[in-house]
Structure 1
């Protein structure tokens, strides 16, 4: 809702939630019309795109119902909880000439576009190795039970711990990687529940993985390591290492994240050299992190988009806007169809710790 203002070509017809109290609070706060049921949403001829923001285990059923009703669908990650269900949805959308698109929208950020332009220009030569971090910090140790949305809804911490951080967060890294380097050829991953006690109320629950790490081999020749967790200090950076230099994106959740470039053999900045000298002089590593190279400037914009507060400074509606524009022009948006399924498949492989897994052919 915060970023809907960035896209005046879209009109929110109404909202529905299976929780009547939460629906009423949301509709009142944002001054939007509530629907009586999902059937009412699907029967409304003014609705062209259904935006599915339900919990992951509900995605398949809602997506299928909307597509069957002849609606285009924009779905939060993942499309479904199995590769088979995701494939079924893609086939259904194709049969009915509908666009099934998937989140996350951070793969459409200004930062991603800047990074893509640097790679296309050969700034670091041929990319060889990538490190993608999606660590959100020890959330379960925070006072998350007191967190509320702007309309007053509680943050569903217990359910997030049940689903696991990989299904919730790995897509933010995967969307960048697939958009920059193409399809994944092989996945080798492990996942684990490293902190089974997430606090009062979670002792008897079956919790999902709170850590995963996987190596992705891309058909383009790039190899990437993706780490996702809920215990390590917050780090959502991306490091791309080429044969002529390195690109570092500080935060994949920031629409205009600082981006740094360092060429191989380039003279390091005075600050970097000073820190190196000081550490050698003191004989210890200092608690300071400097990003390599020089910060790259963004093209100037006439106005800044409305974004949520830190830490999720993502234009969440941009994915829907790109989908709507593509539908109007008779085109296919990048994060739709088989590509959306591909991202779902990669994330499912990371979440389940599948080793030597080969995603379906795009």
Structure 2
């Protein structure tokens, strides 16, 4: 199988794990990286033995590069994706697909017009934790999934992040920061969403940075920091979901639970690839821990682009595709729109429920 030549635009902190893992998949050949700061691109190229460090313009002009991974900041995602597509290359972008729904639609339309693929993080649902949970549901262990709950409960990023301002400005907040992980996992496990009813609040109008770089500086909060609501899934299940930066004393709520007609399934943190996965059936008093399927239980960011490369080679759909990413983007906005209007938001988008990963393949191989 021919290798797909890959370039990366954006050499910030998240790029390291992509660069490391892209070189573990035989289907990928990482040939170039680019950044506005050329010195940073050169440093990453040297560290990960990438043949070429260059500007984004130079990378996009390379006729050999087929797939570009866009690791720029969220505000630039759509603009850079469009540039990649205009250069005739497939694109995989870090979450979210775009900041607004209009931008997301522009990216999908541009790809469709050019016959190109769009992929988008998060790819954590490829991990052994979510894949094991999916198999238990598909095997009917907990019966028919009827309901679910999902909780991302945190105190906010100002106590650890060196530049936390973005998280409290338009396009930030707990839903847009962490919602993609939870919503993507729920769609994988329960299918597409049909409607959402949301409410939001803001505990503090200003926050004090306590991380070292900007310790003591004040951040004005411009967006809701507690986002909660109800989701109706097309296949019948309903869910409660909360994402929050207003949990100052900690929380013991589980990341995700699925409630079936025969029992309850505890799903691991969807921002990880591993476990644990537990379930308890009707009448039982103890949780059982399910051994994880063979696969990817460590941080395997880069598996999404690898799956796209296999899709290109084999002519099959890829899993973390643009339609799924747009469905999640619309759902995140739906919580806020519903809260602002005081009405139920009816989803306009649909997506494919991603296929389960094959079991029993050699490591870093996604097709036979």
Question: CA offsets per residue over residues 77-108 of structure 1, 9 Å max, x none?
Answer: 12112212211211221121111011101121
Distance 2:301 2:133 in 1: 19
Q: Which structure shows the bigger proportion of residues in strand conformation?
A: 2
* Residue 295 (structure 1) aligns with: 289
Q: Aligned pair in 2 of structure 1 residues 204, 141: CA closer, same or farther (>3 Å)?
A: closer
Flag the structure with more relative contact order, 1 or 2, with Cα contacts below 8 A and sequence separation at least 6: 1
Q: Is the 8 A contact 2:130 2:268 kept in 1?
A: no
Distance 2:168 2:34 in 1: 24
Query: Is 1:326 paired with 2:326?
Result: no
Per-residue deviation, 1:24: 4.1
Per-residue deviation, 1:345: 0.9
* Residue 224 (structure 1) aligns with: 239
* Residue 335 (structure 1) aligns with: 320
Per-residue deviation, 1:134: 2.0
Which of 90, 98, 106 is residue 72 of structure 1 equivalent to? 90
TM-score by length of 1: 0.80
Which of 114, 117, 121 is residue 96 of structure 1 equivalent to? 114
Structure index of larger Rg: 1
Q: Aligned pair in 2 of structure 1 residues 112, 300: CA closer, same or farther (>3 Å)?
A: closer
Q: Is the 8 A contact 2:148 2:257 kept in 1?
A: yes
TM-score by length of 2: 0.79
Distance 1:85 1:36 in 2: 27
Query: Is 1:180 paired with 2:189?
Result: yes
Which ranges in structure 2 are unaligned for 5 or more consecutive residues? 1-15, 351-368
Which of 213, 230, 238 is residue 228 of structure 2 equivalent to? 213
* Residue 167 (structure 2) aligns with: 160
Query: Is 1:346 paired with 2:328?
Result: no
Aligned length: 318
Query: Is 1:51 paired with 2:77?
Result: no
Distance 2:64 2:234 in 1: 42
Q: Summarize the alignment of residues 1-362 of structure 1 with structure 2, pairs less than 5 Å apart.
A: 1-2=16-17, 3-33=21-51, 35-142=53-160, 144-145=161-162, 156-162=163-169, 163-200=172-209, 203=218, 205=220, 207-232=222-247, 233=250, 237-266=255-284, 268-269=285-286, 293-300=287-294, 307=298, 314-351=299-336, 353=339, 355-362=343-350
